[in-house]
Structure 1
Amino acid sequence: MTQKNPTLVLIDGHALAYRAYFGMPATFSTSAGEPTHAVYGFTNMLLAVWHEYDPDYFIVTFDRGDTFRHQMYPHYKATREKMPDDLRGQIERIEQLVRAFNMPVFTKDGYEADDLLGTLSAQAAAQGIRALIVTGDRDAFQLVGPQVNVIISGRRFADRELYDEAAVQKRYGLMPKQLIELKGLVGDTSDNIPGVKGIGEKTGVKLIQQFHTLEGVYDNLDKISKSVRAKLEAEREQAFLSRELGRIVTDVPGITLNIEAGRTRDFDLVEVANLFVELEFNTIFNRIPGAPPNKSPREVASIKPARAKQATAPDGQYYTVDTPQKLVELAAKLRQSDTLAVDVETDSTDEVRARLVGIAITHTVGEGCYIPLTHGQPAPMGGQKTLFDLVDTPPAAEPVQLDLPAVQAELAPILQDPAITKYMHNAKFDMTVLERHGLPIAPPIFDTMIASWLGNNAEGARHGLKDLVKEKLHIQMTEISELIG
């Protein structure tokens, strides 16, 4: 049985931090107001790679200000916007996070994170260790070799791909080491590397395929068409400068790989839990390799959570619509609004079998109306008792409620009005139940559960109404057990 080579994951800290910052909703923050969306996204990416590749070692690299490339070419990266203020503090948190996982952090004045990745991956390969570089920067493709692969994400990190030599050649038609020659010709707008004006990737690839290097191109100008030759001749100096600006250094002075320092399981889970408590990361804690599957970070941590903003009880005015007159008055208000929120109370979680017990509906913030329909009626075989059914109500005190036909007559035209936007949570369920009871809903519909998923589709994210209300509005919805004792 062949023993696989040990694997080292090298993470481009800045590249992943930026991707997380712009890929996660900025609403992520602690109860004290500290932004955490970049930290949360970075943590999810880290754990995703950890689970997928099960590496033996981790190392993370970060940039540190200007580099030797800025001295070579003052306009290098000059077109990039400065780092957002709320990302700067989060990068400090990300460094704190990776150190809590006991992952070595490498930085070097005058060099970029890419140069550290290049140096460490070369040293790892020389020791027979497979290096996986995780980045969002395709410049790293030039480092790919027999022992070095690059993991790069697509539009979403979940769409990440692993590039070996064959994958690079298939994508570009060039070997990885030739990509730096291509950069000399075509430049890189994202880094403000000029290249040769008028030479695009298609032409550049053909030239490198034919002549292999920049030197080969310039030694054979007489074999190149006049129009392309003129461009090359006019910007020879720019071409060689661009190649050097884009070349990743693989021998940064003073950078030495201590592979055992990055062993993945050599971390203190309590220290990690302490940081997760500070950051209020609850749902992803159990994804950490070695973390107990049934404990929260608070149960593992040695520190107490900061005094968070307390969730308050729901406030506002709430009305029971239990007479025909109240129903008419409610319908008149709803017709005058261009938005409404609607939710259903049922006796089952199966929308095909569920009985409509009541409807909660409102047209404005701070006011809610509830229309009881079938409370107190025996649940059908297999049905789930409702909140009101569970209360020990004397027979003489039957709940006052409305007949379904009366509700259909008033609400059906409103729910089918295309000029009114309906806000719902898990709309598919409610729409199915309502349509089965003669109350079909017409678009436009805004589903807050879908919106929550689009904003945060990380594994373990919670999209239930109670969770979202507590997280976003700091309101604690009343639990059924509290209501009925």
Structure 2
Amino acid sequence: MKKKDKFIIIDGNSLAYRAFFALPDSIMTISGIITNSVYGFTNMLLKIINDNKPTMLAVAFDSKKPTFRHKIFKDYKSDREKMPEDLASQFNLIYRVLDVFNIPKYQVEGYEADDLLGTLATQAKDKGIEVLIVTGDKDALQLVSENVKVIFTVKGISDVNIYGPEEVIDKYGIGPNYIADYFGLIGDKIDNIPGISGIGKKSAAKLINEFGFLEQILDRVDEIPAEKIKEKLKQDSEMAILSKNLATIDCNSPIRIDIEKCKLKKFDEKKVYELFEYLEFRKLWEKIKKMNLMEKSLKDENKFQSRTKLIVEEGELINLIEKIKNLKEISIQFLGSNNDCTGIAISIKPDVSFYIHIDSKEKEDRFFNLLKPILINKNIKKIMHNAKYQLKILFKKGIRLQGLIFDSYIASYLLNPHFREHKLSEIIQKYFGYIAFFNIYSNRAITIYCC
């Protein structure tokens, strides 16, 4: 049986706002680009994908110009503060994230994201597709049905509630199809929808459960026993209808769902890496690498494996030392702890490297004694990573290294002093486009450092 499609539609503005106010504006690149909103947005997007395993995905954004609601009520959302400039400047970055994730964006002049969510949800539902809507706008609860649920962001970017029909009834005391009527009666301060003054949540739910839709309530207003409520409804009936219209999501906005375009596809690994590197999203890069979401496009590190020779026997090491004696420069790295060295990686030219495998203390002592003339020869220049750590290993073995000319750790620090760490694997990936890897010899993982 074919697996049913699951379509997640995200309110882009809602998620971007929540991320911006949930995370500090100290989240920025070394060049001063504030990225708290795009970071939180991306983190939440990956969490949504990981938790819900959708087959389809799309993001809707508000129109940058006034909508039809502003035309029928000039004070609509008039109490809202202008979008902070530091947030507005991040939307293009959010669009870039969606582009490298191959996730389509929907935005139509004169319509809010809610209308696009409703239109896409309705079209998908009619095709038998399961729909999940991610938003922090309670108006979207009117879209809930057996095939449509709302993932409602409660606080920040990680605390969410999931609403199906029963959850809406538990929360508001009415079904999803009455949500617009409900806000038509009580109003919505956030959107500056007036409603009817003096009618609260309990009264609104009671009226809806007894009489039905707002129009039915107004038609039967004389049957309402509470005189004050009756008078308010008669006095402000036009405002109630206007408020309902403002709260009603237009599920017939001028867009059409593109099933193929919305299908979740593998991300291009290289494009994601380049953007995350620009935004300095290193933790998110580590996170996404574990999620099986990317099509491999960074250079294949396995091309190095055939060029790296394993050295296990003493005779093999002696032959290598004879080659090194005539060289002007080598790269060398010692692996292990301060007390024990488990391996030595040496590169004698860009495409020729060796891994010296050490599996005992006795072998370690013998191999270091053989290498000592090379290590103390100042005429053979050495390139290392984090030489300070390497020198500690040599010092404990009574070896004073000579000829050190370059340390990639220090170079990385000078170029990127804002980096928390300067791992060689990250440097290789940043500047050469290769992913650091592990090669297996004799069931032991060996990191190839010098290639």
> Residue 236 of structure 2 aligns to which amino acid in structure 1?
E
Q: What corresponds to 1:126 in structure 2?
A: 126
> Residue 133 of structure 1 aligns to which amino acid in structure 2?
I
Q: What corresponds to 2:175 in structure 1?
A: 175
Q: Give 3-state SS (helix, strand or coil) of 1:261's partner.
A: helix
For residues 139 and 273 of structure 2, what CA distance do their matches in structure 1 show?
35
TM norm structure 2: 0.65
Structure 1 residue 229: Cα displacement? 0.9
Is the 2:125–2:148 Cα contact (8 Å) retained in structure 1? Answer: yes
Cα deviations by residue, 1:306-331 (Å, 9 ceiling, x for unpaired): xxxxxxxxxxxxxxxxxxxxxxxxxx
1:234-273 matches, cutoff 5 A:
234-253=235-254, 255-273=255-273
For residues 70 and 99 of structure 2, what CA distance do their matches in structure 1 show?
29
> Residue 112 of structure 2 aligns to which amino acid in structure 1?
E
TM norm structure 1: 0.61
For residues 156 and 259 of structure 1, what CA distance do their matches in structure 2 show?
31
For residues 417 and 171 of structure 2, what CA distance do their matches in structure 1 show?
47
1:135-214 matches, cutoff 5 A:
135-214=135-214
Is the 2:266–2:293 Cα contact (8 Å) retained in structure 1? Answer: no
* Unmatched 5+ stretches in structure 2: 301-337, 339-388, 398-412, 424-451
Give the counterpart of 1:290 among 289, 292, 301.
Answer: 292
For residues 135 and 227 of structure 1, what CA distance do their matches in structure 2 show?
36
Structure 1 residue 114: Cα displacement? 0.4
Relative distance call for 1:277 and 1:184 in structure 2 (3 A) is same
Relative distance call for 1:12 and 1:478 in structure 2 (3 A) is closer
Q: Give 3-state SS (helix, strand or coil) of 2:154's partner.
A: coil
Q: Give 3-state SS (helix, strand or coil) of 1:157's partner.
A: coil
> Residue 37 of structure 1 aligns to which amino acid in structure 2?
N
Decide which structure has greater strand share: 2
For residues 299 and 33 of structure 1, what CA distance do their matches in structure 2 show?
30
1:233-382 matches, cutoff 5 A:
233-253=234-254, 255-288=255-288, 289-290=291-292
Q: What corresponds to 2:36 in structure 1?
A: 37
Is the 1:286–1:292 Cα contact (8 Å) retained in structure 2? Answer: no
For residues 247 and 69 of structure 2, what CA distance do their matches in structure 1 show?
9
Structure 1 residue 158: Cα displacement? 2.4
Q: Tell me whether 1:220 sits opposite 2:220 in the alignment.
A: yes
For residues 196 and 24 of structure 2, what CA distance do their matches in structure 1 show?
39
For residues 12 and 122 of structure 1, what CA distance do their matches in structure 2 show?
15
For residues 4 and 142 of structure 1, what CA distance do their matches in structure 2 show?
27
Is the 2:16–2:38 Cα contact (8 Å) retained in structure 1? Answer: yes
For residues 281 and 422 of structure 2, what CA distance do their matches in structure 1 show?
24
Is the 1:277–1:298 Cα contact (8 Å) retained in structure 2? Answer: no
Structure 1 residue 171: Cα displacement? 1.2
Structure 1 residue 258: Cα displacement? 0.7
> Residue 276 of structure 1 aligns to which amino acid in structure 2?
F
Cα deviations by residue, 1:311-354 (Å, 9 ceiling, x for unpaired): xxxxxxxxxxxxxxxxxxxxxxxxxxxxxxxxxxxx9xxxxxxx
> Residue 92 of structure 1 aligns to which amino acid in structure 2?
N
> Residue 220 of structure 1 aligns to which amino acid in structure 2?
R
Structure 1 residue 478: Cα displacement? 11
For residues 476 and 179 of structure 1, what CA distance do their matches in structure 2 show?
49
Is the 2:196–2:232 Cα contact (8 Å) retained in structure 1? Answer: yes
Is the 2:266–2:294 Cα contact (8 Å) retained in structure 1? Answer: no
Relative distance call for 1:39 and 1:200 in structure 2 (3 A) is same
Structure 1 residue 237: Cα displacement? 0.7
Relative distance call for 1:477 and 1:120 in structure 2 (3 A) is closer
1:439-458 matches, cutoff 5 A:
none
Is the 1:63–1:107 Cα contact (8 Å) retained in structure 2? Answer: yes
* Unmatched 5+ stretches in structure 1: 301-346, 348-385, 395-468, 480-485
For residues 131 and 29 of structure 2, what CA distance do their matches in structure 1 show?
35
Q: Give 3-state SS (helix, strand or coil) of 1:134's partner.
A: strand
Structure 1 residue 222: Cα displacement? 1.9
Q: What corresponds to 1:20 in structure 2?
A: 19
Is the 1:144–1:164 Cα contact (8 Å) retained in structure 2? Answer: yes
Is the 1:21–1:37 Cα contact (8 Å) retained in structure 2? Answer: yes
Is the 2:21–2:156 Cα contact (8 Å) retained in structure 1? Answer: no
Relative distance call for 1:28 and 1:218 in structure 2 (3 A) is same
Q: Tell me whether 1:229 sits opposite 2:230 in the alignment.
A: yes
Cα deviations by residue, 1:228-272 (Å, 9 ceiling, x for unpaired): 11111111110000000000010112x011111022124322222
Structure 1 residue 209: Cα displacement? 0.8
Is the 2:186–2:200 Cα contact (8 Å) retained in structure 1? Answer: yes
Cα deviations by residue, 1:362-389 (Å, 9 ceiling, x for unpaired): xxxxxxxxxxxxxxxxxxxxxxxx99x9
Structure 1 residue 170: Cα displacement? 1.5
Relative distance call for 1:477 and 1:239 in structure 2 (3 A) is closer
Q: Give 3-state SS (helix, strand or coil) of 2:81's partner.
A: coil
For residues 393 and 240 of structure 1, what CA distance do their matches in structure 2 show?
84
Q: Which of structure 1's runs of 4+ aligned residues deviate more than 3 A? A: 297-300, 389-394, 472-479
Size of the alignment, in residue pairs? 318
Is the 2:196–2:240 Cα contact (8 Å) retained in structure 1? Answer: yes
Structure 1 residue 287: Cα displacement? 2.8
Structure 1 residue 290: Cα displacement? 2.6
> Residue 66 of structure 1 aligns to which amino acid in structure 2?
P
For residues 83 and 24 of structure 2, what CA distance do their matches in structure 1 show?
17
Cα deviations by residue, 1:68-105 (Å, 9 ceiling, x for unpaired): 00000000000000000011110111011111111111
Q: Give 3-state SS (helix, strand or coil) of 1:162's partner.
A: strand
> Residue 147 of structure 1 aligns to which amino acid in structure 2?
N
Q: Give 3-state SS (helix, strand or coil) of 2:89's partner.
A: helix
Is the 2:62–2:112 Cα contact (8 Å) retained in structure 1? Answer: yes
> Residue 111 of structure 2 aligns to which amino acid in structure 1?
Y
Structure 1 residue 476: Cα displacement? 7.2
> Residue 46 of structure 1 aligns to which amino acid in structure 2?
L
> Residue 194 of structure 1 aligns to which amino acid in structure 2?
P
For residues 58 and 84 of structure 1, what CA distance do their matches in structure 2 show?
28
Is the 1:285–1:291 Cα contact (8 Å) retained in structure 2? Answer: no
Is the 2:117–2:133 Cα contact (8 Å) retained in structure 1? Answer: yes
Structure 1 residue 475: Cα displacement? 8.2
> Residue 157 of structure 2 aligns to which amino acid in structure 1?
F
For residues 263 and 96 of structure 1, what CA distance do their matches in structure 2 show?
18
> Residue 45 of structure 1 aligns to which amino acid in structure 2?
M
Q: Give 3-state SS (helix, strand or coil) of 2:7's partner.
A: strand
Relative distance call for 1:299 and 1:79 in structure 2 (3 A) is farther
